[in-house]
Every structure is written in C-alpha cells, then in structure tokens.
C-alpha cells in the first residue's frame, strides 16, 4: 500500500517511480517555521543517516501467543513471511532511499534456537541474543552491537506484523533522515471502528508537525460522551519503528517510566524522557498478529490479495 497522498505540492513533487509517500507533518503550519525547518535540513552534512539496517526481533515465549514467530500462515512460518516481505524494501535490501544507495542486510535477532533454526532454513541471517532482553528494542540494541558495523538507522521490524509493506519501511527510514531533531520514527494508519476498544490495537495522537504526542491501548483522544466519534480520524499504531542508532545504544540504559509501565508500551519511554518521535501516516489494512485468532484474519487477507 502507498503512504498517504501528500498535502502540499512540494511533497508531491518528491514522489517518483510510481511510489507516493510523505512524511506526515513535514509541511509545518506556519510559513516561517517551514522555512526555518527547510534551511536546517539543507544544512545537513552529506549522507545524513545514510546507513540503515533492518532487524526483526523474535522470541518464542509470549503470554498471549507462545511460539508466535513459528505459527504457520498459509503453510509458512510467520517469521518467514515477514522476512520475505521486508527484504524487498529498497531501503533495506537494495535500491535507493532519499538519494542514498543502501545495500544493507535484514537480520533476525532471537534468543531461541528453534526460531534460529527455522530462519536459517530459509536463508535468513540470524543473530543470537540474550534471554534477558525485556523487549524488542533492547533485542535490536544487542543485535546491533554484535553486528560490529556502523549503521545510522536501525529499523525494528516487528515479526508479528507479517504484511508490513516495503514502502512503509522506506517511509520510516526517510522520516529519520528528514527530521534531525527526532531520534525515533514510526507509522500509523486509520483505526477501524471495530478496533476502537481492542487493547491489543495501540492508538496514537500526533501534533500538527507530525510528531508523536502519546500512545495508548485505550481510545485516544476521548470525548465527553465516552463513545467513538465516527467522524474523528483515529490513528492505529503499526508495529514498526526506526531508531537513530546512537539513541538505540542508550535506550536500554534509560529507566522504565510510569506511563510505559502502565500502558505496557515501550515507545512511551522515549516520549517520557523528552525525546522527539516522527510519525508517518500510511494506508495499511492488515492486522498484526497478537493472538492465535489473528492468524486466520491474516490468511483471509492474503488470499484476498493473492499473496502466497
């Protein structure tokens, strides 16, 4: 699916090759602010955040769905479906993103030999990580250290979002390249009404410059009636995130924060510590896999789209 159509002529002119994407909020509300931001971007050194790597963190243990990465989707392990889809991203495999040629790997980071053996079986690169990693971001951090190479951006590609389109991965990379004041980037799409009360579907609100304000398992924003407003454009957070690699290296050292612990959302630790997070709005209609019953939904969608 393409990233949502741009809202300005300058954004439209940057789309090429049949792919349309924008970084949500790149056009600032005030002309003066837009000019200042543009000037700052053009002063960036050549090759700003030009080297990216994609890491798929995967663990076997899960309170809601044990062994989820190995669950079969149309006959293939979910981790294989995710890896095949992601590797076709121009920003993470081959091609050009933001005028920078990126020939970089996608690797699976896991602490489980069953997952590692499965991934090696279909040709994926695997890095073994510690069982002590508390979340996917910490697993990506450890994997980055073990890679032993310099990367500017690390894209955390969630293994339970098997149909994240390559264009979305590229958009997350571009968001960090174009927002020097952000250390984290992510993606949202329109929330379906039937998912409004589902606590497995994380909601997001952003400011008018496209930076994240908050994430919640509850419906945000809320109104006085306590009911879903059918006319409001609620946003659903997707399981993908881009890290400035220097920030990722210090992320595990940041202490857990109250909102992070209450919502059980690791991205809130970034916001609570005062860091900025860029958000892109995309068109994406595939669910993540949070529970066993989600597998059938993904399979139905793949059949409808003739994805094998």
Apex 49 CA angle, 48 and 53, nearest 5: 155
Which of 157, 123, 164 is closest to 140 using CA atoms? 157
Query: At residue 291, does pLDDT exceed 60?
Result: yes
Provide the phi-psi class of 269: left if phi over 0, else alpha when psi is between -120 and 50, else beta.
Answer: alpha
Domain count, the chain: 1
pLDDT-based confidence at 63, cuts 50/70/90?
low
Domain assignment of residue 11, yes or no? no
Domain assignment of residue 38, yes or no? no
The mean of the pLDDT values for the chain is 80
Domain assignment of residue 33, yes or no? no
Neighbours of 273 (CB within 10 A): 14
Query: At residue 292, does pLDDT exceed 70?
Result: yes
What per-residue confidence (pLDDT) applies to 40? 38
Q: Which tens digits make up the pLDDT trace of 140-183?
A: 999 999 998 889 999 999 877 777 888 888 899 999 999 999 99
DSSP class of residue 91 equals: T
Beta pairing class for 153-157 and 125-128: unpaired
Phi/psi for 81 (5° steps) reads -60, -45
What per-residue confidence (pLDDT) applies to 13? 39
Provide the phi-psi class of 93: left if phi over 0, else alpha when psi is between -120 and 50, else beta.
Answer: left
Q: Which tens digits make up the pLDDT trace of 182-220?
A: 999 999 999 999 999 999 899 999 999 999 999 999 999
Q: Which domain holds residue 112?
A: 19-26+47-303
Hey, which residues does 106 pair with through a beta bridge?
54
What per-residue confidence (pLDDT) applies to 106? 85
What per-residue confidence (pLDDT) applies to 81? 80
Domain assignment of residue 211, yes or no? yes
What per-residue confidence (pLDDT) applies to 85? 57
What per-residue confidence (pLDDT) applies to 110? 94
Provide the phi-psi class of 99: left if phi over 0, else alpha when psi is between -120 and 50, else beta.
Answer: left
The model's pTM? 0.76
Do 51 and 104 meet the contact criterion of CB atoms below 8 Å apart?
yes
Query: At residue 126, does pLDDT exceed 80?
Result: yes
DSSP class of residue 16 equals: B
Cα Rg of the chain (Å, integer): 19
Domain assignment of residue 14, yes or no? no
Q: Which tens digits make up the pLDDT trace of 10-62?
A: 333 333 333 333 333 333 333 333 333 333 333 444 468 888 999 999 988 77
Q: Which tens digits make up the pLDDT trace of 231-257?
A: 999 999 998 999 999 999 999 999 999
What per-residue confidence (pLDDT) applies to 301? 82
CATH number at residue 177: 3.90.550.10
* Top-confidence residue, 19 or 298: 298
What per-residue confidence (pLDDT) applies to 66? 82
Distance separating alpha carbons of residues 20 and 23, to the nearest angstrom: 11
Domain assignment of residue 96, yes or no? yes
**Number of alpha carbons in the 13 Å side-chain half-sphere of residue 10:** 8
Domain assignment of residue 4, yes or no? no
Cα pseudo-dihedral 131, 133, 137, 142, rounded to 10: -80
pLDDT-based confidence at 223, cuts 50/70/90?
very high
pLDDT-based confidence at 96, cuts 50/70/90?
very low
Domain assignment of residue 40, yes or no? no
Distance separating alpha carbons of residues 38 and 28, to the nearest angstrom: 10
Most confident of the ranges 11-20, 78-87, 106-115, 285-294: 106-115
- For residue 99 the two structure tokens come to 């005028």
């Amino acid at each position: 699916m393409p990233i949502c159509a741009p809202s300005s002529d300058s954004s439209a002119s940057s789309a090429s090759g049949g792919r349309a994407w924008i970084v949500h909020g790149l056009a600032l509300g005030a002309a003066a602010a837009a000019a200042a931001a543009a000037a700052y971007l053009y002063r960036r050194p050549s090759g700003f955040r030009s080297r990216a790597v994609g890491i798929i963190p995967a663990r076997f243990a899960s309170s809601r769905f044990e062994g989820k990465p190995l669950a079969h989707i149309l006959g293939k392990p979910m981790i294989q479906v995710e890896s095949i889809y992601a590797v076709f991203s121009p920003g993470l495999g081959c091609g050009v993103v933001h005028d920078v040629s990126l020939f970089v790997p996608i690797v699976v980071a896991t602490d489980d030999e069953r997952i590692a053996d499965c991934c090696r079986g279909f040709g994926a690169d695997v890095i073994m990580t510690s069982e002590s990693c508390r979340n996917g971001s910490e697993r990506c951090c450890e994997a980055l250290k073990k890679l032993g190479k310099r990367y500017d951006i690390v894209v955390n590609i969630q293994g339970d979002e098997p149909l994240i389109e390559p264009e979305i991965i590229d958009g997350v990379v571009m968001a960090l390249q174009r927002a020097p004041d952000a250390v984290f980037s992510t993606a949202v799409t329109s929330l379906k009404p039937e998912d409004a009360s589902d606590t497995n579907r994380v909601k997001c609100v952003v400011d008018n410059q496209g930076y994240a304000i908050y994430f919640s398992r509850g419906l945000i924003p809320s109104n006085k009636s306590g009911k879903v407003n059918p006319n409001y454009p609620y946003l659903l957070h997707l399981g993908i995130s881009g890290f400035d690699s220097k920030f990722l290296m210090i992320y595990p050292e940041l202490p857990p924060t109250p909102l992070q612990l209450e919502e059980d959302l690791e991205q809130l630790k970034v916001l609570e510590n005062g860091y900025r997070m860029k958000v892109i709005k995309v068109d994406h209609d595939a669910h993540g896999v949070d529970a066993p019953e989600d597998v059938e939904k993904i399979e139905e969608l793949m059949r409808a789209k003739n994805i094998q």
